[in-house]
Amino acid sequence: MSQAADAIRERRREYYTRISQQHLSPLWEVLSVLVPKQPQPTCVPAFWKYDDLRPSLMEAGELITAHEATRRVLILENPAYRGQSRVTNTLYAGLQLLKPGEVAPAHRHTQSALRFVLEGRGAFTAVDGERHYMSPGDLVLTPSWTWHDHGGTESQEPVVWLDGLDIPLVQMLDAGFAEDLPTEQQPIARPEGDSLMRYGANMLPVDYHSRPHTSPVFAYPYERTREALYNLSRSGDPHPCHGYKMRYINPVTGGHAMPTIATFMQLLPKDFRGRPYRSTDATVFVGFEGYGRTVVGDRTFEWGPRDIFVVPSWTACRHETQEEAVLFSFSDRVVQEQLGLWRESCE
C-alpha cells in the first residue's frame, strides 16, 4: 500500500513539473487558499501614537519643502506590507504636513482621496475651483481626477492631516493616471462653502448634473458632524458594538460619499463597553475626542486624540471608554457592498 502511495505521489510531482512548463498548475493543490472557509487577512493590527510621530513629521518640514516633495507625507505602513505603501490590503494612509506660507502644487490623479484634519487651522485645500479652509475634525474629499492643491498662505501654525487613498486598489486594477497643472495653484471659481450651501441642505438645484458616484459636497466641517452625533445620541440607546455611528454620505444618492472609500464618525458614550464586532472591511480608525481602549484580536490599543490604529478584515474588535470619545474611520466597505461581499457580525 505504501509503495503504491509513493508511486502516485511521484507521478503527481512529475506531472506538476511537466505542466508547469505550459504555465499551468493544479487547482486542487491551492483550492483551500483561494477559497477559504472564512477570510484569512494578511493585514495585521497596527497602532501609531500621534505624539510619537509628530517630531519626525516636523523634522521632515525642515528637510524638504512642500513644493519639492509635491506632497510632504510620511506613509503609515502596515507591518505586514513594509515597502508597499499600504495601511490595509486595499488602502493607503499617510500624515501630511503643510507649514505657514507653503503651497503643495496642483495636480490630479485617478486615485480617490480623503483628508481628515488632525492639527492646526488656516490652511486650505482647493478642489475643482473651490477652497475650504481646514479645521481639526473636518473631512475633505478629493474625488478621482479632480484638480487639487493645498496652501498654508493664511495659517499661523503647521497644519497636519491624515491622507487616505485607494492607491493599492487602483494599482491592482492597473488604472493609475496622474497629471500636473502648469500653474502651482488652480484658479478659484466659487466662494468657500459653495458646494455645502448648494448640496448640503437636503435640496438640489434643479439643473444639477451629478458627478458619477461621488458626493458634490467635498468638505464636511466637524462642527456639523459633531452636532449630528450629539443629536443621534439623544434619540435612543447606543448600538451595542458601535455606540452612535454615522457614515458620511453623498446627499444626491444617500449612498457613500466616495465610490471606493467609506467614511464614518462615531460617538462612544462615557463608560461604554462595546460587544465584539467583526466585518470583512479592514478599517483605519483615528481617535479625535477623548480617550479609550480598543481590543483587536489579541492586542489592546490605548488611544487618545489623533492616534491611529488598524483593525484587519474579520478580526474581532471591541471599544471601551471611561469618558465620552469620538472616532473617525475609513475602509473599503463601499466596494465590498457594491460587489455583494461585505459581511459583519456583532457578537
Residue 279's domain is classified under what CATH number? 2.60.120.10
On whether residue 35 sits in a domain, the answer given is no
On whether residue 252 sits in a domain, the answer given is yes
Q: Distance between CA 233 and CA 241 in Å, rounded?
A: 14
On whether residue 3 sits in a domain, the answer given is no
Helix (H, G, I), strand (E, B) or coil at 141: strand
On whether residue 103 sits in a domain, the answer given is yes
- For residues 76, 330, 158 and 192, what is the CA-based torsion angle, rounded to 10 degrees? 150
Nearest to 104 by CA among 150, 47, 42: 150
Domain around 156? 46-346
Q: Distance between CA 177 and CA 170 in Å, rounded?
A: 10
- Output the pLDDT for position 63: 98
Q: Give me the DSSP letters along 3-58.
A: HHHHHHHHHHHHHHHHHHTTT---GGGTHHHHS-SS-------EEE-HHHHHHHHH
On whether residue 239 sits in a domain, the answer given is yes
On whether residue 7 sits in a domain, the answer given is no
Q: Distance between CA 244 and CA 20 in Å, rounded?
A: 54
On whether residue 17 sits in a domain, the answer given is no
On whether residue 183 sits in a domain, the answer given is yes
Tens digit of pLDDT at every position of the chain (347 positions): 688 899 999 999 999 999 999 999 999 999 999 999 999 999 999 999 999 999 999 999 999 999 999 999 999 999 999 999 999 999 999 999 999 999 999 999 999 999 999 999 999 999 999 999 999 999 999 999 999 999 987 788 999 999 999 999 999 999 999 999 999 999 999 999 999 999 999 898 998 887 778 999 999 999 999 999 999 999 999 999 999 999 999 999 999 999 999 999 999 999 999 999 999 999 999 999 999 999 999 999 999 999 999 999 999 999 999 999 999 999 999 999 999 999 999 98
Look up the pTM and report it. Answer: 0.96
Domain tally for the chain?
1
Task: Confirm if 274 and 318 have CB atoms less than 8 A apart.
Answer: yes
